[in-house]
Amino acid sequence: MFSLNNLKPKPGSVRRTKRLGTGSGSGHGQTSTKGQKGQSASAGGTKRTGFEGGQMPLSRRIPKSGFSNNRFRIVWEWVNVSSLDKCFDNGAEVTPEALVAKRLVKHTKRVKILGDGELKKSLKVSAHAFSASAKEKIEKAGGAASVIAAAAPAGK
């Protein structure tokens, strides 16, 4: 039976690697398949990626524009009230830690509850933010929505 731990290539289908510089009997001795003289025959004889022989490289010739704010963005995890209805029992207390335990979110840094779907259970929900419709649906079902303070962003 085939499985990932016992897969092997067919015998003869994989060639042995060239063993360079292992003497004249190897067929790859003397110049070690690098040919005679020149930059690429010497040790350290490679040029860096993007080097164009001293010409101004393409990456510096083309115009630059735009700015990305990705390093400073705030990442929100969000959950719809329909997911809360499926995953929690009536009267349960919903916290970011409980959402991570149920695998509805990946982290507890910033969690927002959104109002998509229906909520038929009374839940005590604590999160960093709520949409207006989510807060309305939670309170209409007889539950409570409380806002908790978010952690300060890293580096500030």
For residue 156, give the 3-state DSSP assignment.
coil
Q: Is there a domain that residue 121 lies in? A: yes
Both structure tokens of 70: 């990705």
Parent domain of 110: 75-147
Between 151 and 56, where is the model more confident?
56
Q: Is there a domain that residue 89 lies in? A: yes
Model pLDDT for residues 58-67, shown as the tens digit of each residue: 999 999 998 8
Reported as a pLDDT band with limits 50, 70 and 90, residue 130 is very high
* Residue 1 pLDDT greater than 90, yes or no: no
Both structure tokens of 19: 């063993």
Q: Is there a domain that residue 130 lies in? A: yes
Q: Is there a domain that residue 40 lies in? A: no
Model pLDDT for residues 110-119, shown as the tens digit of each residue: 999 999 999 9
pTM: 0.56
- Per-residue pLDDT averaged across 20-41, rounded? 83
Q: Is there a domain that residue 3 lies in? A: no
Query: What CATH number does residue 131 fall under?
Result: 3.100.10.10
Work out how many domains the chain is built from and give that number. Answer: 1
Between 148 and 18, where is the model more confident?
148
